[in-house]
């Protein structure tokens, strides 16, 4: 849960009206650290799982509805959640994002930060 909350703080800080949180979380994270469409799709799915699990625990107090097999699956997936979170944190420490940077990134105007670390400020 802490991992999900930490990522929310990083990926949703430009969303003051709290609109479409889950979608924004997935898009920002996937675009931020992915160099290809395939990688972006994979990271999007991992972020969706992470967000859904965090949300379920926060709102129901249960991980995977208490189902032992589902809990094991989440535990097995945790290293991928952690690795992606680390990549996101490293990227944001290396190049902090402004609100307009996120917009340019998500609409594809800057392609990705992974490919061209200095592109966003040139576009905006």
Concatenated DSSP letters for 21-87?
HHHHHHHHHHHHH-SSHHHHHHHHHHHHHHHHHHHHHHHHS-SGGG-HHHHHHHHHHHHHHHHHHHH
Q: What is the pLDDT along the chain (124 residues), one digit of tens a residue?
A: 677 777 877 787 766 666 688 888 898 899 889 989 999 999 999 999 999 988 888 888 888 777 889 889 989 999 999 999 999 999 888 888 777 787 787 777 665 555 444 444 443 3
Ordered by start, the domain boundaries in the chain are 2-123
The Cα–Cα gap between 87 and 99 comes to 20
Q: Which residues of 7-29 are buried (b: 16+ CB within 10 A; e: fewer)?
A: bbebbbeebeeeeeeeebbbbbb
- Alpha carbons within 13 A on the beta-carbon side of 88: 28
Other beta carbons less than 10 A from residue 46's beta carbon:
19
Q: What letter does residue 109 receive in the DSSP assignment?
A: T
Q: What contacts 79, CB < 8 A, 6 or more positions away?
A: none
Q: Kindly report the pTM of this predicted structure.
A: 0.75
């Amino acid at each position: 849960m802490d991992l999900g909350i930490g990522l929310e703080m990083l990926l949703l800080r430009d969303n003051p009206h709290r609109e479409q949180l889950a979608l924004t979380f997935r898009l920002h994270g996937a675009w931020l650290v992915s160099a290809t469409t395939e990688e972006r799709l994979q990271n999007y799915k991992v972020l969706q799982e992470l967000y859904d699990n965090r949300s379920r625990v926060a709102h129901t107090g249960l991980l995977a509805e208490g189902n032992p097999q589902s809990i094991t699956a989440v535990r097995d997936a945790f290293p991928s959640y952690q690795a992606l979170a680390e990549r996101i944190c490293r990227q944001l420490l290396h190049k902090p994002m402004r609100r307009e940077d996120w917009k340019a990134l998500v609409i594809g105007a800057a392609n990705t930060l992974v490919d061209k670390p200095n592109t966003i400020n040139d576009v905006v």
